[in-house]
Amino acid sequence: MFKEKTLKSNYLFNGKVINLRIDEVQTYSNRTSTREIVEHNGGVGIVAVEDGNVFLVRQYRRPFDEIIYEIPAGKLEKGEEPLNCAFRELEEETGYKALDLKLMTSIYTSPGFCTEKLYIYFCDKMTKTETNFDEDEYLELIKVPILEAKKMILDGTIKDAKSIIGILMLNDFIDK
Amino acid sequence: MFKEKTLKSNYLFNGKVINLRIDEVQTYSNRTSTREIVEHNGGVGIVAVEDGNVFLVRQYRRPFDEIIYEIPAGKLEKGEEPLNCAFRELEEETGYKALDLKLMTSIYTSPGFCTEKLYIYFCDKMTKTETNFDEDEYLELIKVPILEAKKMILDGTIKDAKSIIGILMLNDFIDK
């Protein structure tokens, strides 16, 4: 099947979170076109379950100027292993240290224009430690019965893609 | 709960698909910081089901240089109603005209840095018309039994977030 050929790549922005790259490409109809590509390092999300409750964090998200619900999550540092990132982020955002993490799946959030790939982990074995919030974050941690979390997906309260996917896939990981 | 105050917004790029905006903000700890925001118009995805099969399109996605599986989908034009967009995109990508579309949910693909919001629709009533591929796309349409599509999620063949969410939510919409 057809793959576009890259004729030229040009970086317009190199940031803390994203880079912006404009590719000049040769399309399948042999024309020249440009593609706007947002480069993102990717990240992790963790579906952490304790006594039938799933951990959610409420936090402010500037793109929507809203406080939204998400599973604990965070960005990969350059060269970081997703599994290590998941251990780190779970502890930073919940104050719980995972004893074991299982990869549920990995997803492309916006494959049309963005390189972001997220690894979603399942955790049902953890111990309480101290909470160390990320320097620049403001989080509220809540615990919600799994069935309630599923209702929050159906009624539109949980809108974040990785969180929806992790919670909807729980049936295939719990009690295993 | 805390919302960041915007001190200044600065556009670095205005493109066909995205804009890049840098916000200077006042954080909860009263410091000044910058936020990289990717503005995207949003889009739609359609879970179209016929005789127990779900429609998938295979297409090249430059950010991953891969051919991936997705539900039929497309970007919202400026000011376009998501429902109208869903009718248009389903027909353009599958050659089927929806007789009815139900909103399943709307999702935030990357709420940490991107304004993209996607509306996911369910369709099980449609009629065959002509296929009009988008000018710049190259698509292969396939029909997959719903159970097989769910397996393709679990084994990592389907990686696209909106497609995973639409297919996993099918149980709540089918036969209703």
Instruction: Check residue B134 and give its pLDDT.
Output: 54
Instruction: Calculate the CA dihedral of residues B159, B162, B165, B170 and round it to 10 degrees.
Output: -110
B141, B93 Cβ separation under 8 angstroms: yes
Out of B40, B62, B110, whose CB is closest to A116? Answer: B110
> What is A43-105+117-172's CATH superfamily?
Nucleoside Triphosphate Pyrophosphohydrolase (3.90.79.10)
Contact between A161 and A153 (Cβ < 8 Å): no
Residues of A labelled as active-site residues: 135
Query: What is the predicted pLDDT for the residue at A70?
Result: 98
pLDDT at A29: 81
Contacts of residue B86, defined as CB under 8 A and 6 or more positions apart, other chains included, come to B44, B46, B98, B101, B119, B121
**Which residues pair with residue A128 across a beta bridge?**
A96
φ, ψ for residue B61 (rounded to 5)? Answer: -125, 110
Of residues B2 and A44, which shows the higher confidence score? A44
Distance CA B109, CA B121 (A): 16
pLDDT averaged over every residue in chain B: 93
Instruction: State the Cα–Cα distance between residues B142 and B94, nearest whole angstrom.
Output: 9
Which residues contact residue A132 at a Cβ distance below 8 angstroms, ignoring those fewer than 6 apart?
A: A91, A92, A95
pLDDT value, residue B26: 92
Contacts of A113 in chain B (CB under 8 A): 17-18, 40, 63
For residue A54, CA distances in Å to A40, A141, A152, A160 come to 27, 10, 12, 15
Cβ distance of A112 and B36 shorter than 8 Å:
no
Q: Which residue of A has its CA nearest to B137?
A: A28
User: Could you give the CA distance from residue A23 to residue A20 in angstroms, rounded to a whole number?
Assistant: 10
pLDDT of residue B174: 87
Q: In this predicted model, what pLDDT tens digit does every residue of B59-92 receive, in sequence order?
A: 999 999 999 999 999 999 999 999 999 999 999 9
Test mutation, A65, A114, A173, chain B, max B CBs within 10 A? A114
Nearest CA to B116 among B162, B64, B63, B62? Answer: B162
pLDDT of residue B160: 98
Residue spans of chain A under pLDDT 70: 130-137, 176
> What is the Rg, in whole angstroms, of the alpha carbon atoms belonging to chain A?
18
**β-pair type (A117-123, A43-50):** parallel
DSSP state of B114: B
Global confidence as pTM? 0.95
pLDDT at B130 over 80: no
DSSP B9-21: EEEEEE-SSEEEE
What is d(CA B92, CA A86) in angstroms, rounded to the nearest whole number? 40
Q: How far is CA A117 from CA A83, B159, B171, in A?
A: 14, 9, 26
Q: Which of B106-115, B123-132, B135-144 has the lowest mean pLDDT?
A: B135-144
Identify the residue with better confidence: A29 or B152: B152
Residues of A in contact with B22 (CB under 8 A): 15
Report residue B135's pLDDT band, with 50, 70 and 90 as the boundaries.
Answer: very low
Provide the CATH number for the domain formed by B43-172 in this structure: 3.90.79.10
Region B110-126: mean pLDDT is 98
Instruction: Pick A138's closest partner by Cβ from B28, B62, B138.
Output: B28
Characterize B92-127 residue by residue with b for buried, 16 or more Cβ atoms within 10 angstroms of its Cβ, and e for exposed: bbbebebeebeebbebbbbbbbbbbbbbbbbbbebe
From the centroid of its chain, how far is CA A150? Answer: 18
Instruction: Identify the H or E element spanning A93.
Output: helix A82-94
Which sequence spans correspond to the domains of chain A? Answer: 5-40, 43-105+117-172
